[in-house]
Amino acid sequence: MTLKYLITGATGGLGKEVLNYFIANIPRSEFAAASSNAANRSAFEDRGITFRHVNYDDPQSLETGLRAVENLLFVSSSGMRRGEQHARVVEAAKKTGVKHIWYTSLAFGGFQDTSKALVMQDHLLTEKLLRESGLTYTSIREGVYAECFTVFLDWYPERTGTLTLPADGSVAYTSRAELGEATARIMIQGGYENQTVLFTAQETITARELVNIINKTTGRQIKLNLVSREEYLDSWRNDPREKPREHFEMIASVWDEIVSGALHTTHPLLGEILGREPKSPKDFVSTLLEEDREYVFAY
């Protein structure tokens, strides 16, 4: 029996949002949830949702789990093995005859393939594999989650006084819930074969503006201190969390990209697919902090 939709990463932040939309709008006979953890089966089946075990590190589970699937939501993995994991998924999709892959990429560089951000390199490789695979695909470059603004600022609730960064620039932070809903909607709508699409909020926001929102909504008095890249990298020595230098190198590399405009691009497609104006970064972060002044992004 052919399965119309398979949603991988169904226990993760984005995949869960996609699944919620399917549950509310599509007959349960038409879709299934997938997870790398077979122990999650009962959590879905108890709710009447078909489950498939799909582990990107296990070729056999991929070939079994992707069998007779028309539309595959291919949620990207994370970590050092992402490139090889994604290559396995593409190969298994070819073997099993998946009709259309909907891949969740990232918005670094907008529509361009020139981003030097480390986090983007495996996505660019995966998009190349998809282009060369002969499969029908859509690469959805999802805007940076507004929920993870604290990661970009390297801010945590205990921090007071000065927040130090190596640069400032504009980012089109986008609601993860809206990204999930739009990803579900575009899969159901169909089309966009062999295209790269961009889902972003319609506005951008800077680190300085985010700090102002933190102060306004939580009563804090944080000051943003912009320093040279070298000085920022050296600040790991006095970090109260005892984060390694590699952590600061990661943050600095992201801001290198932001300064170059890699996350500044906005596009109207998200609003068109949602049928409404997406939440602005300012409004989203303000609401988030008004509801929880101690908020910090949980991976």
Q: How much of the chain exceeds pLDDT 90, in percent? A: 93
For the chain, residues with pLDDT lower than 50 are none
**Which of 146, 143, 168, 164 is CA-nearest to residue 266?**
143
CA 263 to chain centre: 13
Helical residues (DSSP H) of the chain, grouped into ranges: 13-25, 41-45, 59-65, 82-96, 118-133, 149-153, 176-189, 207-218, 229-234, 245-259, 269-274, 281-291
The pLDDT of residue 220 is 95
What lies within 8 Å, CB to CB, of 81 at 6+ separation is: 57
Q: What is the pLDDT of residues 86-134, one digit of tens each?
A: 999 999 999 999 999 999 999 999 999 999 888 899 999 999 999 999 9
The domains found in the chain, sorted by start residue, are: 3-146+175-199 (3.40.50.720), 147-170+203-264+280-291 (3.90.25)
The whole-model pTM stands at 0.95
Question: Tokens in use for 264?
Answer: 């500044």
The pLDDT of residue 102 is 98
Tell me the angle at which helices 207-218 and 281-291 cross, rounded to the nearest 10 degrees: 30
Phi, psi of 78 (to 5 degrees): -135, 165
- Report how far residue 241's alpha carbon sits from residue 154's, in angstroms, rounded to the nearest whole number: 11
